[in-house]
Amino acid sequence: MKVLITGASGLVGTALGSALARAGHTVCRLVRPESAAGEGPKEGFAVAWNPATGELGGAGVGADAVVNLAGASIADGRWTAKRKALLRSSRVDTTRALVAALAKMNARPSVLVSASAIGYYGNRGGETLTEESAAGSDFLAGLAREWEGEARKAEALGIRVVLARFGIILAREGGALPKMMLPFKFGAGGKLSSGQQWMSWVTLEDVVGILRLAIENASLRGAVNVVAPQPLQNAEFTYVLAKAMHRPALFPAPAFALRLALGEMADALLLSSQRVAPRELEKVGCRFLHSDLSTALKNLV
Say if 269 falls within a structural domain. no
How many domains would you assign to the chain? 1
CB 137 within 8 A of CB 119: no
pLDDT tens, 199-247? 999 999 999 999 999 999 999 999 999 999 999 999 999 999 999 999 9
CB 214 within 8 A of CB 220: yes
Say if 266 falls within a structural domain. no
Say if 186 falls within a structural domain. no
Q: How many Å apart are CA 110 and CA 161, to the nearest integer?
A: 9
Q: How many Å apart are CA 110 and CA 74, to the nearest integer?
A: 30
Q: How many Å apart are CA 272 and CA 120, to the nearest integer?
A: 12
pLDDT score at 43: 66
pLDDT score at 38: 46
What are the per-10-residue average pLDDT scores of the chain (301 residues)?
95 96 95 61 77 78 94 90 95 95 93 98 97 96 98 98 97 91 90 95 98 97 98 96 92 88 86 97 96 94 85
Q: What is the largest CA-CA distance in the chain?
A: 60
Residue 48 structural domain: 2-172+200-227
pLDDT score at 42: 57
Say if 221 falls within a structural domain. yes
Q: How many Å apart are CA 56 and CA 49, to the nearest integer?
A: 4
Q: Are strands 232-233 and 198-199 parallel, antiparallel or unpaired?
A: antiparallel
CB 169 within 8 A of CB 175: yes
Say if 206 falls within a structural domain. yes
Say if 147 falls within a structural domain. yes
Q: What is the CATH number of the domain that holds 61?
A: 3.40.50.720
Q: How many Å apart are CA 4 and CA 55, to the nearest integer?
A: 14
Say if 290 falls within a structural domain. no
Say if 216 falls within a structural domain. yes
